[in-house]
Chain A
Amino acid sequence: MTDVPTTTKADWTSDQEVRWCPGCGDYSILTAVQLLMPELGVRREDTVFVSGIGCAARFPYYMNTYGMHGIHGRAPALATGLAMARPELHVWVVGGDGDMLSIGGNHLLHALRRNVNLNILLFNNQIYGLTKGQYSPTSEIGKVTKSTPAGSIDEPFNPISVALGAEASFVARTHDMDRQHMMDMFRRAHDFPGASFVEVFQNCNVFNDGAFGAITKKDKRASMLIHLEHGQPIRFGENNEKGVVINPQGSAEVVDVADVGESALLVHDETRQDPSLAFALSRVSAGPFEPTPIGVYRAVERSEYATEASKQLAMAQEQSGPGDLEALLHSRPTWEVS
């Protein structure tokens, strides 16, 4: 393989004018991705961004790579076909909470279950932006929007819990106020061989401004964001005074380290086969107003779908030789008429 040419952010930026609302969190996510790409050692032409519909779904137009802007909710399905057909490509899927958890929820579940080699970025802003402000499947109960004037009565999805429940092998969370953390998570997603799911807390400054402010504002992060680090006891707080333990009921719970002692803290193991602890961690916070874990929840390698499919093709060719059409047509009983 020849060397991958050195590139800069500019090489990964398309000539299209970016059309998100000024101040939208999507800008910082786009920048993080465009800054990361030159560091990944991949070619532009081997990289594809696939999206559905929604504000986030405009993402492919702004990347100077191959891209497909599909239809609402179907990006994981479009990308599954592409990744199966061309396993050597680096395929990214970008969508919002309405796109991937509502209309396209089924495809997300199955892409994760199959472990197709996709990097799936879910921009979660807890609102429908492009259709101008209806509640989404991640909106909190009681949310007053144009379509819920008396408040939403729908229990929201927890995207991390959904992904873990769908047998996802790589699950992470980041937020749009921390470029370096986003880049770290996206890099980990890229490096992981299989379906990688990254939830990005993203601010919609027009229809749901400040939805994550209570945990992502600079002065809140230390006390409200719990950084998950593999092999480390889970601690956070201005003075690292808080931690997470698994209580006798099996739930993850925030405690004062002083009360329980350092040795009682849960040591994060992202490679743990059993997803129960990762799931428990996803339930520590009831919403973006309580201390919330970010980072890699789970990274457990298992067979990648397109690779397995290709193996079956190779095996069939080894066993039966390359396809012979003439032989196929004569593969059932034949008779001669003279």
Chain B
Amino acid sequence: MTDTVPRTVGTQELSRLVVRFAGDSGDGMQLTGDRFTSASALFGNDLATLPEFPAEIRAPQGTLAGVSAFQVQVSDHDITTPGDAPNVLVAMNPAALRKELVHLEFGGTIIVNQDAFIERNLTKAGYDSDPLDDGSLDNYTLFKVPMTTITKEVCKGLGVKPRDAERSKNFFALGLLSWLYNRPAQPTLDWISAKFKRQQLIADANTAAFKAGMAFGETAELFDFTYEVKPAVLEPGTYTNVNGNTALSWGLVAASQQAKVPLFLGSYPITPASDILHELSQRKNFGVRTLQAEDEIAAVCAALGASFGGHLGITTTSGPGIALKGETIGLAVSLELPLLVINIQRGGPSTGLPTKTESADLMQAMYGRHGESPVPIVAAYSPSQCFFAAIEAARIALKYRTPVILLSDGYLANGSEPWLLPDVSSLPDLTVEFATGPNHTEEDGTEVFWPYLRDPETKARPWAVPGTPGLTHRIGGIEKEDGTGNINYEPDNHGYMVKLREERVAHIANDIPPTMLDGDVDDADLLVLGWGSTWGAITSAVMRARSEGHKVAHAHVTHLNPLPKDLGDIVRRYPKVLVPEMNLGQFCRIIRSEFLVDAQSVAKVEGVPFTAAELHRHINGALDD
């Protein structure tokens, strides 16, 4: 028996906590952040995440360029953003500290891997002196932890190679953070044993490192308190933690099920869209066919070919891929076949910022084709909502026999949040009726099939798939006559068809939900009008402004073409309209030209999302004007 008693450490309650994990690309920071997030989700917190990583798979070790970061906000109440300034920065090396310190709140907590602060790494990061000793961090609470040394020590005797032992130090950091913030350990331990079940030594090393991290917190007498963020009070139900690309993939599967039309995905790998291809290629038991095509053009063409064959043809890509697919989208406009074109937007132009977020492809979606080539556009606004956005885009494509562009972005794609799982039986019925017989009687009484004879309500042409007797027909990109679909180059006919295609899309406005409108709907002095992933930051910013007594409303647009019918009234109703966008004001320009209102653009094109604080400042600024 010893007389040692467990050290008593007080626990302080926090209503929310923002942690930023940062390290070298090879340090496993995305994984660490993801595990911290998952444990918090299972604990019942509300949360939102912001992964940020370089485009290079392994940039030179120890350099600023190689820093990979993951920010997560966990809270005991409903939140919509990954937080503004982190409260805690975990820095695995000097480069991570140097690059990420700017984000940390004044007086925030820094936890560093002390072992990495050696001269070589300090030089690589551009430090003249060691920031851990030179007083430059005096305004923060600094914890220096020899993570590498301890991790190597506890891995001794496990039979793990020294290199693998060292690589487990991210689990040490996770263990320490889990202890410090009272995160449950079991989900992480379970995850390690499942993930590495075929690599027992790695599992052992990670487990040992994780436990050592927890033990270090408890015994090192560095920390006087642990902190706790209680579960959030959320709507009752079953939750899972989901990122945008996964939710979007599942939405596509759901749409296929609800339509009873098999899903065909043609895709070419591109950041940040590839995970949808990965996810859907695992859903073969849902009848999902995926083709990793030879290029972006082949990907969309194969999807369109599959649509001709009676499948729900889908292609996923990012902005550069959309540029390549433009001609085929135009063909789909002319063929009037369902086609879903999904753009997970990233920083542009050209290669731009492949791993960073931006929403600057709106004009491309609206106008990025030759000729008058209107296409409905749906935009997702939160990671979990990507599920419903996918279903909605598919609904429009299937019902109106048209290509539809669905816009998401890198922030939604990789960011995650708790999702109250929907009741599957509540999902919309998307059942499609295929043509089965002739639809027109010639003057001589012959029953024939006209491929462009339209449904009077939807203006959609019949979907007659190969294999159906009696309906053989030819379609193509050449201008055709309405009804028969025969080639027709006459001036009047082209004018008619151009207007018809425009009307077909405009007409969908009768069949979309009204604009989402929140806040001081009746008497706001300012309307903040958003679309896409700015929803979270706008929601938080509007809440803050209103809590200060300002009258502010928030409208969020999910259907960008056609626009909701009530949008004109909404933007004219308020004295001021502010349009925050992750581009130089593309939607703002549409609003101004469409409704002749003096909407003001708030632009941010820096590869990172708006913070609520930034938008809050803009709101206050606009109200002061």
Interface-facing stretch out of A29-37, A233-241, A322-330: A322-330
Query: Which residue of A14, A319, A323 has the most chain B CB atoms within 10 A of its CB atom?
Result: A323
Asked if residues A313 and B284 are in contact (CB atoms below 8 Å), the reply is yes
Asked if residues A71 and B285 are in contact (CB atoms below 8 Å), the reply is no
Contact of A61 among B283, B284, B308, B487 (CB under 8 A): B487
> How many residue pairs, one in A and one in B, have C-beta atoms under 8 Å apart?
207
Asked if residues A70 and B477 are in contact (CB atoms below 8 Å), the reply is yes
Within 8 A of A (CB), among B213-245: 231, 234-242
Within 8 A of A (CB), among B223-277: 231, 234-242, 250, 253-254, 257, 262, 264, 266
Chain A residues with Cβ below 8 Å from B306 are 81-82, 84-85
Chain A residues with Cβ below 8 Å from B250 are 325, 328-329
20 A-B pairs, CB-CB below 8 angstroms? A16-B474, A48-B466, A60-B476, A68-B476, A69-B474, A77-B301, A77-B302, A84-B289, A84-B306, A86-B310, A309-B291, A319-B285, A320-B285, A321-B285, A323-B257, A332-B241, A333-B41, A334-B238, A335-B44, A337-B235
**Chain A window 192-205, contacts with chain B (Cβ cutoff 8 Å), 1 for yes, 0 for no:** 00000000000000
Interface size class of B (residues with CB under 8 A): 35 or more
Chain B residues with Cβ below 8 Å from A46 are 466-467
CB distance from B300 to the nearest CB of A (A): 8
| Known pairs A82-B306, A317-B287 / 11 extra A-B pairs, C-beta < 8 Å | A68-B308, A71-B477, A78-B308, A81-B307, A85-B311, A86-B309, A86-B467, A315-B284, A335-B44, A337-B44, A337-B237
Asked if residues B313 and A332 are in contact (CB atoms below 8 Å), the reply is no
Asked if residues A85 and B289 are in contact (CB atoms below 8 Å), the reply is yes
Query: Does B105 sit at the interface, judged by CB under 8 A?
Result: no
Asked if residues B242 and A332 are in contact (CB atoms below 8 Å), the reply is yes
Q: Which 3 A-B pairs have the closest CB atoms?
A: A69-B476, A323-B286, A81-B305
CB distance from A53 to the nearest CB of B (A): 8
Chain B residues with Cβ below 8 Å from A78 are 301-302, 304-305, 308
Contact of B305 among A82, A316, A325 (CB under 8 A): A82
Asked if residues B236 and A337 are in contact (CB atoms below 8 Å), the reply is yes
| Cα-based distance from A65 to B469 in the complex (angstroms) | 10
Asked if residues B297 and A77 are in contact (CB atoms below 8 Å), the reply is yes
| Cα-based distance from A321 to B286 in the complex (angstroms) | 9
Chain B binding surface SS class: mixed
Query: Does B615 sit at the interface, judged by CB under 8 A?
Result: no
Asked if residues A81 and B421 are in contact (CB atoms below 8 Å), the reply is no
Query: Does B506 sit at the interface, judged by CB under 8 A?
Result: no
Within 8 A of B (CB), among A31-85: 43-48, 50, 60-61, 63-71, 74, 77-85
Query: Does B328 sit at the interface, judged by CB under 8 A?
Result: yes
CB distance from B385 to the nearest CB of A (A): 14
Query: Does A110 sit at the interface, judged by CB under 8 A?
Result: yes
Chain A residues with Cβ below 8 Å from B465 are 86
Chain A residues with Cβ below 8 Å from B44 are 335, 337
| Cα-based distance from A337 to B232 in the complex (angstroms) | 9
Binding site for A on B (CB under 8 A): 38, 41-44, 187, 231, 234-242, 250, 253-254, 257, 262, 264, 266, 283-289, 291, 293-295, 297-298, 301-311, 313, 327-328, 330-331, 335, 420-422, 424, 465-478, 486-487
Chain A residues with Cβ below 8 Å from B309 are 81-82, 85-86, 89
Interface size class of A (residues with CB under 8 A): 35 or more
Asked if residues A82 and B474 are in contact (CB atoms below 8 Å), the reply is no
Query: Does A312 sit at the interface, judged by CB under 8 A?
Result: yes
| Cα-based distance from A16 to B478 in the complex (angstroms) | 14
| Cα-based distance from A66 to B310 in the complex (angstroms) | 13
Asked if residues B266 and A81 are in contact (CB atoms below 8 Å), the reply is yes
Chain B residues with Cβ below 8 Å from A335 are 41-44, 238-240
Output the nearest chain A residue to B299 by Cβ-Cβ distance. A77
CB distance from B554 to the nearest CB of A (A): 25
Output the nearest chain A residue to B464 by Cβ-Cβ distance. A66
Given contact pairs A79-B305, A329-B424, A85 touches B476 in the complex (Cβ within 8 A): no
| Cα-based distance from A260 to B313 in the complex (angstroms) | 59
Chain B residues with Cβ below 8 Å from A68 are 305, 308, 335, 474-476
